[in-house]
């Protein structure tokens, strides 16, 4: 159950919630009211389960919004963090730091990109990518950045300037100049708009917050052709879809794209804040000493955890597992759709990033699932977004679909 901070009347049936002195009451008193919290207090996480303070075990399809790819309380991540904490937690980026270099080596090795910059978060990686692209275009007539409709790139002003949704932008104008928005998957508009003044196009190939909409092959093919003709940069936002979640290391690999710059975050730090900008040959020399930086970005503890994340996902088979279990989830969702076509209008996505579009508001369904011990996020009003830890097994998916079938029927 999702609760508005000020809406205490709806909390009558939730034990312990908004009792004077309870955690939710204290939170509501002290925080800016930016978040809708779940009516739930978590004690700990175990694998694909979250355990409430009252001992209730919840099967978790939030997956920390695509952060907790290895599941909760993962022994190797915990061990790497503890070992690094005992050495140093922070030095500053004046110092060479072995965990950073190890993670960079691993990322470059896996992806074939040339350079990396570590940030703290996704939106900061987006900002850094904007700056990298501007440096690359220095001295040219290129000035226009384009984002695509319904995308989500974060909450900072540069990220918001790339986005079109009123929900995120309202009351924050004026935005950064020379930014435009193109309709997702509209090939004709793309062709008619881009030219020699286009600097870069940001593409979230599999839109996460937007409801798991996937870029079409036609759109991506046209984008490739136009890049060849006009020479702009393609910048992929893989913050949610990257690092193996979709069964391939990057979501764009499903679509035959090779972007010039890629931004990552979410799963990268194993639960600790960490983002990254990856750049290919075209931009490899565009950043020079002093032109970009961060105090905390590339924190050594987060990087030590990140090394384990990549080892598990790439070397120890979790990405392959995500592809397999994802296919199973998708086929089960499609089976349910064919049984209940009036209830489920679409099933989209890859691997462990699946959207089930309902023909009715999704939040009441998510609330009912929560009562039955399953946590799932509803996005875009009607889409149940499945982002489980990649360690999820078929038997967990069976539980989810059994309960969803029962609720929708």
The binding site for ligand PLP (CB under 6 A) comprises 121-123, 152-154, 204, 208-209, 237, 239-240, 265
Phi and psi dihedrals of 297, rounded to 5? -55, 135
Q: Which is nearer to ligand PLP, 343 or 379 (CB)?
A: 379
- Which residue in the shown chain puts its C-beta closest to ligand PLP? 122
Q: Which is nearer to ligand PLP, 97 or 379 (CB)?
A: 379
Strand partners, 276: 118, 264
CB of 166 to ligand PLP, least distance (A): 18
Buried b (16+ CB within 10 A) or exposed e, 20-52: eeeebeeebeeeeeeeebbbbeeeebebbbbee
What Å distances lie between residue 246 and 48, 232, 274, 309, 342, CA to CA? 17, 27, 20, 15, 28
Q: Which is nearer to ligand PLP, 283 or 353 (CB)?
A: 353
Q: Which is nearer to ligand PLP, 116 or 265 (CB)?
A: 265
Q: Which is nearer to ligand PLP, 14 or 65 (CB)?
A: 65
DSSP string, 142-163: --EEEEETT----SSHHHHHH-
Q: Which is nearer to ligand PLP, 126 or 391 (CB)?
A: 126
**Beta carbons of 406 and 366 less than 8 angstroms apart:** no
The encoded tokens of residue 164 equal: 């079109």
Q: Which is nearer to ligand PLP, 204 or 312 (CB)?
A: 204
Separation of alpha carbons 322 and 352, rounded Å: 6
Note the residue count of the chain. Answer: 409
The encoded tokens of residue 393 equal: 């097994």
CB of 86 to ligand PLP, least distance (A): 27
CB of 387 to ligand PLP, least distance (A): 10
CB of 337 to ligand PLP, least distance (A): 25
CB of 175 to ligand PLP, least distance (A): 17
- Give residues with Cβ within 8 angstroms of 57, minimum separation 6: 49, 50, 51, 373
**Among the listed residues 277, 362, 356, the one whose alpha carbon sits nearest the alpha carbon of residue 2:** 362
Give 122's Cβ-side CA count (13 Å radius).
22
DSSP state of 47: B
CB of 170 to ligand PLP, least distance (A): 18
The encoded tokens of residue 113 equal: 């990109």
CB of 64 to ligand PLP, least distance (A): 11
CB of 339 to ligand PLP, least distance (A): 31
CB of 197 to ligand PLP, least distance (A): 25
Phi and psi dihedrals of 213, rounded to 5? -100, 135
**Among the listed residues 251, 145, 150, the one whose alpha carbon sits nearest the alpha carbon of residue 201:** 145
Q: Which is nearer to ligand PLP, 269 or 396 (CB)?
A: 269
Separation of alpha carbons 135 and 130, rounded Å: 9
Q: Which is nearer to ligand PLP, 18 or 350 (CB)?
A: 350
């Amino acid at each position: 159950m999702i609760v508005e901070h000020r809406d205490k009347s709806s909390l009558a049936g939730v034990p312990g919630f908004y009792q004077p002195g309870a955690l939710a009451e204290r939170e509501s008193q002290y925080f800016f009211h930016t978040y809708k919290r779940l009516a739930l207090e978590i004690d700990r996480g175990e694998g694909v389960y979250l355990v409430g303070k009252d001992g209730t075990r919840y099967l978790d399809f939030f997956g920390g919004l695509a952060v907790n790819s290895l599941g909760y309380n993962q022994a190797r991540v915990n061990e790497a963090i503890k070992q690094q904490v005992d050495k140093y937690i922070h030095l500053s980026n004046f110092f060479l730091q072995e965990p950073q270099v190890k993670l960079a080596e691993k990322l470059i090795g896996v992806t074939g990109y040339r350079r990396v910059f570590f940030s703290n978060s996704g939106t900061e990686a987006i900002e850094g990518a904007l700056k990298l692209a501007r440096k690359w275009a220095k001295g040219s007539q290129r000035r226009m950045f384009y984002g695509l409709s319904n995308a989500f790139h974060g909450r900072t002003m540069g990220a918001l300037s790339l986005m079109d949704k009123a929900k995120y932008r309202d009351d924050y104008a004026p935005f950064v100049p020379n930014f435009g928005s193109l309709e997702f998957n509209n090939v004709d508009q793309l062709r008619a708009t881009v030219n020699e003044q286009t600097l870069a196009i940001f593409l979230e190939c599999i839109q996460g917050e937007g409801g798991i909409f996937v870029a079409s092959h036609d759109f991506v093919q046209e984008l490739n052709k136009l890049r060849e003709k006009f020479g702009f940069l393609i910048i992929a936002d893989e913050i949610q879809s990257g690092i193996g979640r979709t069964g391939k290391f990057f979501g764009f690999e499903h679509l035959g794209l090779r972007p010039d710059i890629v931004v990552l975050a979410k799963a990268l730090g194993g639960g600790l804040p960490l983002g990254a900008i990856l750049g290919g040959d075209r931009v490899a020399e565009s950043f020079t000493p002093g032109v970009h930086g961060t105090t905390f970005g590339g924190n050594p503890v987060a990087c030590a955890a990140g090394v384990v994340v990549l080892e598990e996902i790439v070397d120890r088979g979790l990405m392959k597992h995500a592809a397999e279990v994802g296919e199973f989830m998708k086929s089960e969702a499609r089976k349910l759709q064919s049984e209940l076509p009036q209830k489920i209008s679409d099933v989209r996505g890859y691997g462990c990033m699946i959207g089930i579009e309902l023909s009715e508001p999704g939040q009441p369904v998510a609330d009912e699932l929560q009562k039955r011990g399953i946590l799932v996020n509803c996005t875009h009003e009607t889409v149940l977004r499945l982002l489980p830890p990649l360690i999820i097994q078929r038997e967990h998916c069976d539980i989810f679909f059994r309960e969803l079938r029962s609720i929708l029927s």
